[in-house]
Amino acid sequence: MGRPAKPASKPGKRAPGSFKAILTRINADGWRALRLLAAEQDTTLNALAVEAFNDLLKKHGKRAAVENPLLD
């Protein structure tokens, strides 16, 4: 019995279920500012959020462990 075996995945790839989603609310001015920054940096809001979470972890002496599933 127990858990069913996980299917084999390609090396370096994460299973879709290994990522979690975050929903947050921000004001309209903040939203516009972040959209503009993403456009200026030619990146996505998700990539900006991953960078921000890793910076926060580093600030508190933790290892940067947040990955961007969209870059796989």
* Residue 6 belongs to a domain: no
Domain carrying residue 53: 23-71
pTM to 2 decimal places: 0.73
pLDDT tens for 19-53 read: 899 999 999 999 999 999 999 999 999 999 999 99
Provide the number of structural domains found in the chain: 1
SS3 assignment, position 16: helix
Q: Give the integer Cα–Cα distance in Å for 72 and 68.
A: 8
* Residue 1 belongs to a domain: no
Look at residue 72 and tell me whether its pLDDT is greater than 90.
no
Q: Give the integer Cα–Cα distance in Å for 72 and 59.
A: 26
Q: Which amino acid is at 69?
A: P
Helix intervals (H) in 9-68: 28-40, 45-59
